[in-house]
Amino acid sequence: MPEEHVIAAGPGAGTGGIGTVSADSAAVGPVGRARSGPPRATMRTRVRIPLRFADGFTATADAFTFRGLVDGKEHLLLALGDWEGSLAGAAAPLVRPHSECLTGDVLGSQRCDCGPQIREAAERIVGEGGFLLYLRQEGRGIGLYEKLDAYSLQDRGLDTYAANVALGHGEDERDYRAAAQMLLALGVERIRLLSNNPDKALQLEANGVAVAERVPTWVHLSPTNARYLATKRDHTAHTIVLGPIPTGMPDH
Protein backbone atom coordinates (compact mmCIF):
# COMPACT_ATOMS: atom_id res chain seq x y z
CA MET A 1 0.00 0.00 0.00
CA PRO A 2 1.70 3.24 -1.09
CA GLU A 3 2.15 5.93 1.50
CA GLU A 4 1.67 8.94 -0.70
CA HIS A 5 0.50 10.09 -4.09
CA VAL A 6 0.17 13.35 -5.91
CA ILE A 7 -3.24 14.17 -7.37
CA ALA A 8 -3.06 14.96 -11.05
CA ALA A 9 -5.87 16.90 -12.66
CA GLY A 10 -4.20 16.97 -16.04
CA PRO A 11 -3.99 14.31 -18.76
CA GLY A 12 -4.72 10.83 -17.46
CA ALA A 13 -6.30 12.01 -14.20
CA GLY A 14 -9.81 11.12 -15.29
CA THR A 15 -8.75 7.51 -15.83
CA GLY A 16 -7.08 7.16 -12.46
CA GLY A 17 -3.64 8.33 -13.60
CA ILE A 18 -1.39 9.68 -10.85
CA GLY A 19 1.70 11.74 -11.44
CA THR A 20 3.67 14.74 -10.31
CA VAL A 21 1.70 17.97 -10.37
CA SER A 22 3.27 21.24 -11.43
CA ALA A 23 2.55 24.42 -9.48
CA ASP A 24 0.17 25.69 -12.15
CA SER A 25 -1.83 22.46 -12.48
CA ALA A 26 -5.56 22.88 -12.10
CA ALA A 27 -7.71 20.75 -9.85
CA VAL A 28 -11.42 21.12 -9.48
CA GLY A 29 -13.21 21.94 -6.24
CA PRO A 30 -16.81 23.15 -5.90
CA VAL A 31 -18.58 23.61 -9.23
CA GLY A 32 -17.52 26.74 -11.07
CA ARG A 33 -14.28 27.29 -9.15
CA ALA A 34 -10.81 26.62 -10.53
CA ARG A 35 -8.33 25.42 -7.91
CA SER A 36 -4.55 25.10 -7.88
CA GLY A 37 -3.29 21.54 -7.65
CA PRO A 38 -3.56 20.09 -4.14
CA PRO A 39 -0.45 19.00 -2.26
CA ARG A 40 0.53 15.47 -1.36
CA ALA A 41 -1.37 13.65 1.34
CA THR A 42 0.20 10.87 3.41
CA MET A 43 -1.21 8.45 5.94
CA ARG A 44 -0.78 9.61 9.53
CA THR A 45 -2.59 7.10 11.78
CA ARG A 46 -4.46 3.84 11.38
CA VAL A 47 -6.58 2.61 14.28
CA ARG A 48 -9.34 0.02 14.60
CA ILE A 49 -12.71 1.26 15.89
CA PRO A 50 -15.72 -0.93 16.74
CA LEU A 51 -18.93 0.78 15.61
CA ARG A 52 -22.48 0.41 16.93
CA PHE A 53 -25.36 2.35 15.41
CA ALA A 54 -28.56 3.35 17.18
CA ASP A 55 -30.52 0.46 15.66
CA GLY A 56 -27.98 -2.07 16.89
CA PHE A 57 -26.05 -2.59 13.63
CA THR A 58 -22.37 -3.21 14.38
CA ALA A 59 -19.23 -3.09 12.30
CA THR A 60 -15.49 -2.72 12.69
CA ALA A 61 -13.70 0.11 10.90
CA ASP A 62 -10.05 0.78 10.24
CA ALA A 63 -9.93 4.56 10.68
CA PHE A 64 -7.23 6.48 8.82
CA THR A 65 -6.04 10.03 9.40
CA PHE A 66 -3.80 12.00 7.06
CA ARG A 67 -1.18 14.69 6.77
CA GLY A 68 -1.28 17.31 4.06
CA LEU A 69 -4.99 17.46 3.27
CA VAL A 70 -5.58 20.45 1.07
CA ASP A 71 -8.10 22.25 3.29
CA GLY A 72 -6.37 21.53 6.62
CA LYS A 73 -9.47 19.86 8.08
CA GLU A 74 -9.57 16.64 10.11
CA HIS A 75 -11.36 14.39 7.63
CA LEU A 76 -11.57 10.64 8.28
CA LEU A 77 -11.46 7.60 6.03
CA LEU A 78 -13.20 4.55 7.50
CA ALA A 79 -12.24 1.30 5.79
CA LEU A 80 -15.05 -1.24 6.16
CA GLY A 81 -15.60 -4.89 5.35
CA ASP A 82 -12.98 -6.67 3.25
CA TRP A 83 -11.57 -3.40 2.00
CA GLU A 84 -8.14 -4.83 1.28
CA GLY A 85 -9.73 -7.58 -0.81
CA SER A 86 -11.76 -4.96 -2.66
CA LEU A 87 -8.54 -3.28 -3.78
CA ALA A 88 -7.21 -6.53 -5.20
CA GLY A 89 -10.47 -7.65 -6.82
CA ALA A 90 -11.80 -6.98 -10.29
CA ALA A 91 -14.65 -4.80 -9.02
CA ALA A 92 -13.72 -1.39 -7.65
CA PRO A 93 -14.33 -0.74 -3.92
CA LEU A 94 -17.61 0.86 -2.88
CA VAL A 95 -17.01 4.40 -1.59
CA ARG A 96 -19.33 6.85 0.12
CA PRO A 97 -18.12 10.46 0.62
CA HIS A 98 -20.37 11.69 3.46
CA SER A 99 -20.33 15.31 4.56
CA GLU A 100 -20.64 15.89 8.28
CA CYS A 101 -24.14 16.66 9.55
CA LEU A 102 -24.32 16.98 13.32
CA THR A 103 -28.08 17.47 13.34
CA GLY A 104 -28.74 14.41 11.18
CA ASP A 105 -25.85 12.08 11.97
CA VAL A 106 -25.83 12.61 15.75
CA LEU A 107 -29.17 14.10 16.78
CA GLY A 108 -31.37 12.21 14.33
CA SER A 109 -32.89 15.30 12.69
CA GLN A 110 -35.45 14.43 10.03
CA ARG A 111 -35.11 17.70 8.15
CA CYS A 112 -32.53 15.90 6.00
CA ASP A 113 -31.65 12.32 5.10
CA CYS A 114 -28.05 12.37 6.35
CA GLY A 115 -28.46 10.08 9.35
CA PRO A 116 -30.18 7.27 7.42
CA GLN A 117 -27.67 7.67 4.58
CA ILE A 118 -24.59 7.15 6.74
CA ARG A 119 -26.24 4.15 8.40
CA GLU A 120 -27.14 2.69 4.99
CA ALA A 121 -23.65 3.36 3.65
CA ALA A 122 -21.96 1.61 6.56
CA GLU A 123 -23.96 -1.59 6.06
CA ARG A 124 -23.61 -1.65 2.29
CA ILE A 125 -19.87 -0.99 2.38
CA VAL A 126 -19.35 -3.64 5.05
CA GLY A 127 -21.05 -6.11 2.74
CA GLU A 128 -18.93 -5.29 -0.30
CA GLY A 129 -15.68 -3.87 1.07
CA GLY A 130 -14.73 -0.24 0.65
CA PHE A 131 -14.52 3.15 2.29
CA LEU A 132 -16.70 5.66 4.08
CA LEU A 133 -15.18 9.13 3.93
CA TYR A 134 -16.37 11.40 6.74
CA LEU A 135 -15.81 14.94 5.48
CA ARG A 136 -15.85 17.92 7.83
CA GLN A 137 -17.96 20.27 5.73
CA GLU A 138 -21.17 20.81 7.67
CA GLY A 139 -24.10 22.47 5.93
CA ARG A 140 -22.71 21.97 2.40
CA GLY A 141 -19.60 23.79 3.54
CA ILE A 142 -21.04 26.78 5.44
CA GLY A 143 -20.72 25.43 8.99
CA LEU A 144 -23.13 24.44 11.72
CA TYR A 145 -24.34 27.85 12.92
CA GLU A 146 -25.00 29.16 9.43
CA LYS A 147 -26.71 25.91 8.50
CA LEU A 148 -29.13 26.57 11.35
CA ASP A 149 -29.54 30.14 10.07
CA ALA A 150 -30.37 28.62 6.69
CA TYR A 151 -32.97 26.40 8.37
CA SER A 152 -34.60 29.54 9.73
CA LEU A 153 -34.78 30.97 6.21
CA GLN A 154 -36.21 27.71 4.91
CA ASP A 155 -38.96 27.93 7.52
CA ARG A 156 -39.82 31.29 5.94
CA GLY A 157 -40.10 29.83 2.45
CA LEU A 158 -36.66 29.62 0.86
CA ASP A 159 -35.40 26.29 -0.40
CA THR A 160 -32.17 24.70 0.84
CA TYR A 161 -30.02 26.25 -1.90
CA ALA A 162 -31.62 29.70 -1.93
CA ALA A 163 -31.18 29.92 1.84
CA ASN A 164 -27.42 29.42 1.56
CA VAL A 165 -27.22 32.07 -1.16
CA ALA A 166 -29.24 34.51 0.96
CA LEU A 167 -26.59 34.12 3.67
CA GLY A 168 -23.86 35.15 1.23
CA HIS A 169 -22.63 31.65 0.33
CA GLY A 170 -22.62 29.53 -2.77
CA GLU A 171 -25.40 27.01 -3.22
CA ASP A 172 -22.98 24.20 -2.43
CA GLU A 173 -19.47 24.93 -1.15
CA ARG A 174 -18.40 21.34 -0.60
CA ASP A 175 -14.96 20.46 -1.90
CA TYR A 176 -13.98 16.85 -2.62
CA ARG A 177 -10.26 17.39 -3.27
CA ALA A 178 -9.41 16.08 0.21
CA ALA A 179 -11.61 13.05 -0.45
CA ALA A 180 -9.54 12.29 -3.55
CA GLN A 181 -6.33 12.84 -1.59
CA MET A 182 -7.35 10.33 1.06
CA LEU A 183 -8.29 7.68 -1.47
CA LEU A 184 -5.12 8.11 -3.49
CA ALA A 185 -2.97 8.01 -0.35
CA LEU A 186 -4.27 4.44 0.13
CA GLY A 187 -3.71 3.56 -3.51
CA VAL A 188 -7.40 3.73 -4.42
CA GLU A 189 -7.49 4.96 -8.00
CA ARG A 190 -10.84 3.55 -9.13
CA ILE A 191 -14.12 3.36 -7.19
CA ARG A 192 -17.80 2.57 -7.29
CA LEU A 193 -19.36 5.76 -5.95
CA LEU A 194 -22.28 5.37 -3.54
CA SER A 195 -24.06 8.68 -4.09
CA ASN A 196 -27.01 10.35 -5.78
CA ASN A 197 -25.01 13.55 -6.32
CA PRO A 198 -23.42 13.99 -9.78
CA ASP A 199 -21.07 16.72 -8.51
CA LYS A 200 -19.23 14.23 -6.30
CA ALA A 201 -18.40 12.11 -9.34
CA LEU A 202 -17.28 15.14 -11.36
CA GLN A 203 -14.97 16.45 -8.63
CA LEU A 204 -13.42 13.06 -7.84
CA GLU A 205 -12.81 12.32 -11.53
CA ALA A 206 -11.21 15.74 -11.99
CA ASN A 207 -8.86 15.04 -9.08
CA GLY A 208 -7.56 11.68 -10.20
CA VAL A 209 -10.09 9.11 -8.93
CA ALA A 210 -11.86 7.20 -11.68
CA VAL A 211 -15.55 6.54 -11.00
CA ALA A 212 -16.26 3.16 -12.55
CA GLU A 213 -19.92 3.19 -11.49
CA ARG A 214 -22.36 5.47 -9.73
CA VAL A 215 -24.41 3.46 -7.24
CA PRO A 216 -27.52 5.30 -5.99
CA THR A 217 -28.34 5.42 -2.31
CA TRP A 218 -31.78 4.47 -1.10
CA VAL A 219 -34.39 7.20 -0.68
CA HIS A 220 -35.08 8.03 2.96
CA LEU A 221 -38.31 10.02 2.62
CA SER A 222 -40.35 11.52 5.44
CA PRO A 223 -42.91 14.34 5.70
CA THR A 224 -40.21 16.63 7.09
CA ASN A 225 -37.62 16.11 4.37
CA ALA A 226 -39.81 15.70 1.26
CA ARG A 227 -39.32 19.28 0.06
CA TYR A 228 -35.58 19.07 0.71
CA LEU A 229 -35.24 15.87 -1.33
CA ALA A 230 -37.39 17.20 -4.15
CA THR A 231 -35.22 20.32 -4.35
CA LYS A 232 -32.05 18.23 -4.58
CA ARG A 233 -33.64 16.19 -7.37
CA ASP A 234 -34.94 19.17 -9.33
CA HIS A 235 -32.22 21.77 -8.74
CA THR A 236 -29.00 19.77 -8.77
CA ALA A 237 -29.98 16.60 -10.65
CA HIS A 238 -29.66 14.17 -7.76
CA THR A 239 -30.82 10.71 -8.82
CA ILE A 240 -33.75 10.52 -6.41
CA VAL A 241 -37.06 8.85 -7.17
CA LEU A 242 -39.67 10.05 -4.69
CA GLY A 243 -42.69 7.92 -3.94
CA PRO A 244 -45.68 8.70 -1.73
CA ILE A 245 -44.80 10.71 1.39
CA PRO A 246 -45.10 8.65 4.59
CA THR A 247 -47.66 9.81 7.15
CA GLY A 248 -47.57 9.92 10.91
CA MET A 249 -45.14 12.81 11.43
CA PRO A 250 -45.90 16.52 11.51
CA ASP A 251 -44.58 18.68 8.68
CA HIS A 252 -42.74 21.96 9.37
Q: Give catalytic status of residue 62 as yes or no.
A: no
Taking the alpha carbons at both ends of the chain, their separation in whole angstroms is 49
Q: Give catalytic status of residue 113 as yes or no.
A: no
Q: Are 213 and 190 in contact (CB under 8 A)?
A: no
Which candidate in 174, 175, 177, 192 is catalytic?
174
- CA–CA dist 242, 224 (Å, integer): 14
Classified as helix, coil or strand, 161 is helix
Closest by CA position to 140, among listed 103, 182, 194, 107 = 103
User: β-strands 130-135, 76-80: how paired?
Assistant: antiparallel
Amino acid found at 106: V
| Orientation angle between helical segments 198-206 and 177-185, nearest 10 degrees | 60
Closest by CA position to 83, among listed 125, 52, 49 = 125
- CA–CA dist 189, 171 (Å, integer): 29
* Cβ-based neighbour number of residue 195 at 10 Å: 22
Q: Are 177 and 203 in contact (CB under 8 A)?
A: yes
Q: Which residues carry out catalysis? A: 172, 174
